[in-house]
Structure 1
Amino acid sequence: MNTSAKILVLIPCYNEQDNIVRVVEHLRETCPWADYLVINDCSTDHSAELLRSHGYNFLDLPVNLGIGGGVQCGYQYSRLHGYDVTVQMDGDGQHDPAYLATVVEPVLSGKLDMCIGSRFITHEGFQTSFMRRVGIRFLSAMIRLLCGRKVADVTSGFRATSAEMTAYFADHYAPDYPEPEAILAASLQGFRVGEAPVVMHERLGGVSSISAVKSVYYMLKVSLSLIIDRLAIRRQRHGAGH
C-alpha cells in the first residue's frame, strides 16, 4: 500500500473512558503511517481529560451532535486538510487497526469510493447478537431493494472513503446512526460502494449506546429514513429533469 498517501482515521468518542486510550495507542502502534482525530462528542465521563492528558489529537465539540454530526465534523476537517482517504473507526475497540490497510486499499487504488469493513464475508471474530444480525440482514435487503446495492454489513462503522466521497459526506450526512443511510445515499449519487473482509471484536469496556429497546427504535427509524431518502432523491432527479 502507498503509505505516502494522506490518510486520516476518525474516531468518534462518547463516554469511552474505558476504551479510548487503548484504541488510540493500538492504532498508533499498528498504523504509524496514518493520522488520527478523536471526536469527543461532549462526553460526560473522563474521556476529554484522558485525551488532553495524553496529548492526543482531538476535537472537543461544544455541544452533543450525536454520532452522525460528530463524524460529519470529522469529514469536514478531513476535507479542509486535504486527506486522500478518510477512515471511520469506532472508539470502543471493536475495530482492529490491523485491518486498516485492507479497508483503505480498494479506495486508495481507485476501485471504490467507499469500502466497508465487513465481518460477514469470512464470518470470523465477533458476529454480534442474533437479533442484531436479523436486523442487519433486513436493512441490507432494504438497501438492495431501494438502490440495487448488495452490502452485507450495512451497520459497520469501519469504513474508508475517497476524497470525493469525504467531500460529499462533509455536506450530507445523516445525524443519527447514519451508516445504512450513508450507503444508500452514496449508491444513489453514483459512488462506488463495496466491502472488504475484517475481523471485529467485542467492545473493550463500557456499554453500547444501543440497548435492546433502542434496537427496535433504531430499526424502525432507519427503515423509514431509507425510504424517505430514496423518495427525496427521486424527487430531486425528477425536478432536475424539468
Structure 2
Amino acid sequence: MKRALTKPLEYGDKEGSQASSRPRIAIIIPCYRVRVHIETVVANVKDRVDHVFVVDDKCPESSGAFVAERFAGTNVTVIFHETNQGVGGAMMTGYKAAAENYDILVKMDGDDQMDPQHLNELIAPVVLQDADYSKGNRFHAPSFLNQMPKIRIFGNAMLSFLNKMSSGYWKLMDPTNGYTCLDAKVVNMIDFDKIDRRFFFESDMIFQLGLIRAVIIDVPIPARYGDEVSNLSARKVLVPFFRKHLTNFCSRFFYQYVLRDFNIATIWTLFGVLMFGFGVVLGSTYLVRAFATGEQTALGIIMMSAINVTIGLQFLLSALAYDINAEPSRAIARYLHQPPGAGR
C-alpha cells in the first residue's frame, strides 16, 4: 500500500503524533564553511519536517556550534565530527542517525542553493513508493539553466554521460545535484564503507544504489545561485571523476552481468569487445605497414578487419540497448521492513 503524501507539519500534525499515518521526514545538512548561509537554511526547513540533522564536518567556522546555539530546544540536532570526512562522510553519519527514527531522509546542502519550496516535489516519488531515491534535475528545462554558469552546464553534461555508463541509470541527468531524498528502509542495504567521502559522493551513491537495483527518479528543480562560492570545479574533477566512473563501470559489469546474471548481454559484450578490438588492431597494423612500405594490403585482410569491426560494434550496441532497458522499474523499499525505531 502506498503511503499518503502530505505536507509535513503543515496539515496540523505535531511532531511525535502517533495518530498521523504520514511518513516521518528528516533533513540532513552537511556543514562545512557555510556559516554565512546555514542559519537561513535551517530556519527555512525546520518547520516543514519532523527533524533536522546538521552534521558539522569539522567546520573551521564552527558552523555546528553556531546552529546549536541559534536553534537550541528545537527539532534541530547537531552532530560533530572530530575530523573532516568530506560531504560523503557527513551524509553517512546523518543517514545512520536519522534512519533510526525517520522514514524519509532528505539531503540539503548548507549553501542555500536548494529551494525548500520544492521539498514536496522532491519527496513525492519516495513517499508514494514509486522510487527508493529521488534527486533534483536542473537540466529538465532550458529555463532552469538561466542562472547556471556555462562551464558548469558543459561539465555537468559530461559528468551526466559518464554517470549513465557507470551506474546503468540511463535516464538520469545532473548526478552531482545534492538535493536528494532516500527511503530509510534502503539504508541498511547500502555499503557505506565503499562510497566516496568527497565530491564524488552523489555519483557514487547512485552507483551503489544501482548495485541493489533501487529505483531512482529525477525531479525537475531549477538551479538557484546567490553569492555562495562552489567548492566543486568542473575543470578539476573531470579527469579524476572519469577514472572513478571507469572503475565503477567495470565493477558494475562484473557484478551485474557476470556474477548476478550471466545473460545474452554478457555474451554480446564479450564477443563485441573481442571482435571490435581484433578488427581495429588488424586493420591498424596493415594500414601502418602499407604507409611504411608502400605495399598494398590484401583485400582479404581489409574485409576481415571491416567485418570484425562491424559485427563487434553491432554486438556492443545490442548490449548497450539491453543495458538501457534493464534499468530498475519497481521500488525495492516496498518489500523491505522498516528499520528499528522508524515511524515511532
**Aligned pairs, how many?**
235
Q: State yes or no: 1:91 paired with 2:113.
A: no
- 1:1-242 correspondence to structure 2 within 5 Å: 1-2=5-6, 3=8, 4-29=22-47, 31=48, 33-54=49-70, 55=72, 56-79=76-99, 81-122=100-141, 123-124=143-144, 127-146=147-166, 147-169=168-190, 171=192, 172-177=194-199, 178-203=201-226, 205=228, 207-210=229-232, 214-236=233-255, 238-239=258-259
Structure 2 counterpart of 1:84, one-letter code: D
Report the Cα offset of residue 169 of structure 1. Answer: 4.0
Distance 2:227 2:59 in 1: 17
Structure 2 counterpart of 1:217, one-letter code: K
Report the Cα offset of residue 204 of structure 1. Answer: 5.0
Are the aligned partners of 2:56 and 2:63 in contact in 1 as well (CA < 8 Å)? Answer: yes
Distance 1:46 1:167 in 2: 31
1:105-159: CA deviations, max 9, x gaps? Answer: 1001010111111122133366421111111111211222331522122110001
Distance 1:232 1:108, change over 3 A: same
Structure 1 alignment gaps of length 5 or more: none
Distance 1:223 1:156, change over 3 A: same
Q: Percent identity?
A: 21
Distance 1:36 1:25 in 2: 10
Distance 1:224 1:162, change over 3 A: same
Are the aligned partners of 1:87 and 1:159 in contact in 2 as well (CA < 8 Å)? Answer: yes
3-state SS, counterpart of residue 77 of structure 1: helix
Distance 2:225 2:169 in 1: 31
* 2:13 alignment partner in structure 1: none
Structure 2 counterpart of 1:103, one-letter code: L
Structure 1 counterpart of 2:57, one-letter code: D
Distance 2:164 2:147 in 1: 21
Larger radius of gyration: 2
Distance 1:230 1:189, change over 3 A: farther
Which structure has the highest helix share of the two? 2
Moved more, 173-182 or 123-132: 123-132
3-state SS, counterpart of residue 142 of structure 1: helix
Report the Cα offset of residue 186 of structure 1. Answer: 1.6
Q: How well do the aligned residues superpose, as a CA RMSD in angstroms? A: 2.2
Structure 2 alignment gaps of length 5 or more: 9-21, 263-344
Report the Cα offset of residue 104 of structure 1. Answer: 0.4
Distance 2:213 2:180 in 1: 18
